[in-house]
Structure 1
Amino acid sequence: MSHITVERNRRRQMNEHLKVLRSLTPCFYIKRGDQASIIGGVIEFIKELHQVVEVLESKKRRRKSLSHSPRTPLPPPPAPATTMKEEESVGASASCNSSVADVQVKISGSNVILRVISHKIVGQVSKIISVLERLSFEVLHLNISSMEDTVLYQFVVKIGLECQLSLEELAVGVQQTFCDQKMLTSTG
């Protein structure tokens, strides 16, 4: 077989694979029909699918823990350790988990990545944003993914100059918004 024939077959096979990828990916992920756009859209779609898998695995773990142990109250906030400004260089992280929500906080450069997995609660995202703003954070980006009755909120927030919180205190503060909501629904 000549080099030209081999190259023609390779291109034909690449085009067939790209057609299959395009057909398997929702249309709003792919803006144009060129190869780079198709591959970029597929990458974004796969990232979203990974987040959905994480949400479902967390939901599964939460259900297992609820069925094997009695409900435990939210732990009291830990004593202040270091502030986020001091933790910036370390790349530290913290989490605060309960039967209502899993909250993870991680330093990423000069920003904080906040991930929250919980059941869908109407108005919850605005409560979280309100807490973040009150604690001197600026929301730079928010991504919301949901599957059935579970939702994943992923925030990228900028640490305010006057912020003196530790990561643990932020995680507990966000977790508290869910506990307040749970108390309102259980008393109403």
Structure 2
Amino acid sequence: MSHIAVERNRRKQMNEHLKVLRSLTPCFYIKRGDQASIIGGVIEFIKELHQELGACCNSPVADVEAKISGSNVVLKIISRRTPGQVVKIISVLERSSFEVLHLNISSMEETVLYSFVIKIGLECQLSVEELVFEVQQTLRSDDTA
């Protein structure tokens, strides 16, 4: 096999591996499509996975916690139960390009615990901190209504 053919094959394999890395990494880690940006984004994603990336926000309205688990997010919300609340939360998630894979609802008297497992969509641009903030804002608007 000639040197040119070997090099062509190596580049083809590199591009295929980069495509796989890009597909396994949430899109908000990769800002551009060039090789260096893809590799840099993957490195950041792996670093954060090692730290069990998460965010939480506690307020009088609700306690909201989100943690990345692979290509999914585990979202837990404890709040005072109000009518239509879960529909509003799901709307926020869907608008932000998350897909609800699993939802468990537990309640006791006036308190409710929502446990979501959500898939990070390709179009998603939110960090977990921003997700927690968006959910908090939605619950605050419930509280003032």
Measured against the shorter chain, the TM-score band is 0.5 to 0.7
**Structure 1 residue 175: Cα displacement:** 0.6
Matched residue, 1:122:
83
Matches within 5 A, 1:81-92: 83=28, 88-89=45-46, 90=49, 91-92=52-53
* Identity, % of aligned positions: 64
Structure (1 or 2) with the larger CA radius of gyration:
1
In structure 2, how many angstroms separate the alpha carbons of the residues matched to 1:84 and 1:166?
9
What is the TM-score when the length of structure 2 is the normalising length?
Answer: 0.66
**Structure 1 residue 88: Cα displacement:** 4.5
Does the aligned pair in 2 maintain the 1:88–1:108 contact within 8 Å? Answer: no
**Structure 1 residue 164: Cα displacement:** 1.4
CA 1:84–1:106 in 2, change beyond 3 Å: closer, same or farther?
Answer: farther
Instruction: Report the 3-state secondary structure (helix = DSSP H, G, I; strand = E; otherwise coil) of the residue aligned with 1:118.
Output: strand
For structure 2, which runs of at least 5 residues remain unmatched after alignment?
1-27, 31-40
**Structure 1 residue 97: Cα displacement:** 1.4
- The one of the two structures with greater contact order (alpha-carbon pairs below 8 A, sep at least 6) is 2
| Letter of the structure 2 residue corresponding to residue 110 of structure 1 | S
Matched residue, 1:165:
126
Matched residue, 2:138:
177
Superposed CA RMSD in Å reads 1.6
Q: Higher strand proportion, which one?
A: 2
Instruction: Report the 3-state secondary structure (helix = DSSP H, G, I; strand = E; otherwise coil) of the residue aligned with 2:141.
Output: helix
Tell whether 2:125 aligns with 1:153: no
In structure 2, how many angstroms separate the alpha carbons of the residues matched to 1:129 and 1:150?
18
